[in-house]
Structure 1
């Protein structure tokens, strides 16, 4: 399966391919960088008696499988909130997915929703971190506030916010699209999981914002 059109963005002399599947391919390190998958969220809602389609988790994992098939990454770095809450039946889907790709190194920077016991991850050979430095980047889940950004030496890649950009048309219609938001010292990735909301960001004029459409990424 061919992957939809992405955009190459050079950051700190590193070429990053921003994909409409809401992931970043880092070719130099043969790595995919992904934030906020929120697997198990549908199971969490179903457990609470709220009717949610069962195939949403499988769809997210199918898209991840397509990315693996297209780019053959050696490593996947999840920037937190891989699983949404307590373990439920949806965990079995992730376990089966992991068994299909045992050769891929998987790193998870634990997010606020990653509350499942560490042993469940380690049994699937998932490396757990509070933070991770790779090349010029500091991988986190939560964005840093400005005062902390002035202290850290590395450029931050993070998630958590589920960023969106509000676009207004000529007829005053508006639409909030998921986006990649690159600031001076920090980038916030869109949520990979489709069963998530998004928050419209306030941006500075110097920020580079890339909106995610159905099959392409555009600079806005």
Structure 2
């Protein structure tokens, strides 16, 4: 039985407890399901193929964070909410070899990919990764697990795609933009899990709670949106 880590936050969504993790993922303890959005494997390699000077090591870093979560949580199923691979150019021998080696360390783990817009262009993961690939929505209990944040009648949508971030403002011109979870009425968003994926500044609606991620923790932004 897993215990809520001090860096995480538990929220009630559609009558179920979900944990918002500092690693920018969601854990559903009742079902022992880990949800990750927008990991974008091979994105840095895609840019390097275009001659752009971008850092390496992003695939290894993403896999290390996944390994840490899987070691800490009794996970029965890992669900990627879209954009597993960034592009066809990112399907390099090194990236695919790293993914194959990682999968070999978790042979009994059920893994599902809800196909996102980048997956449709990059192609599905290689068969040796043993990843079930489905179209959205993936209906699981009260939730519709999707990549695109479109409402699904009768279900609470958990989605990615938009890479939300929130700007915290201090004195004067001080401000910092942090990735965030957006928990709303019928639709909630995960931040992008992957390194080197960018973010979209989020302006919350009145029914949305914002939980920012930074410095190894998750914090709710207090007060109604017009007071933030």
Same fold (TM over 0.5): yes
- Cα distance, 1:191–1:4 mapped onto 2, change above 3 Å: farther
Tell me the CA shift for residue 53 of structure 1: 2.4
Aligned to 2:139, which of 130, 133, 140?
133
| Structure 2, unpaired ranges of 5+ | 222-228
Greater mean deviation of Cα atoms: 199-208 or 26-35 = 199-208
Aligned to 2:103: 98
Structure 1 pair 4–55 and aligned structure 2 pair: CA distance change class (3 A): farther
Classify 1:4/1:113 alpha carbon distance in 2 versus 1 (closer, same or farther; 3 Å).
Answer: farther
Q: 1:43 to 1:4 in 2, by over 3 A?
A: farther
> Which segment drifts farther, 121-130 or 154-163?
121-130
In structure 2, relative to structure 1, the CA distance for the partners of 1:116 and 1:197 (3 Å cut) is closer
Normalising by structure 2, report the TM-score: 0.89
Superposed CA offset, 1:12-52 (max 9, x none): 22111101100011111111000000010011111111222
Are the structure 2 counterparts of residues 107 and 198 from structure 1 closer, same or farther at C-alpha, using a change threshold of 3 Å?
same
Shift of 1:106: 0.3
**Aligned match for 1:85, one of 80, 84, 87:** 87
CA contact (8 A) 2:99 2:129 kept: no
Report the 3-state secondary structure (helix = DSSP H, G, I; strand = E; otherwise coil) of the residue aligned with 1:21. Answer: coil
TM-score, scaled to structure 1: 0.92
> Displacement, 1:4?
6.4
Post-superposition offset of 1:172? 2.0
Unaligned runs of 5+ in 1: none
Shift of 1:116: 3.7
CA distances 1:143-197 after superposition (whole Å, capped 9, x unpaired): 11xxxx3x61101000000001111111221221100001111001000002111
- Aligned counterparts of 1:172 and 1:14: Cα–Cα separation in 2: 39
Q: Is the 8 A contact 1:168 1:174 kept in 2?
A: yes
What SS does structure 1 have at the residue aligned with 2:118? coil
Match of 2:128 among 117, 123, 135: 123
User: In 1, Cα distance between the equivalents of 2:147 and 2:13?
Assistant: 19
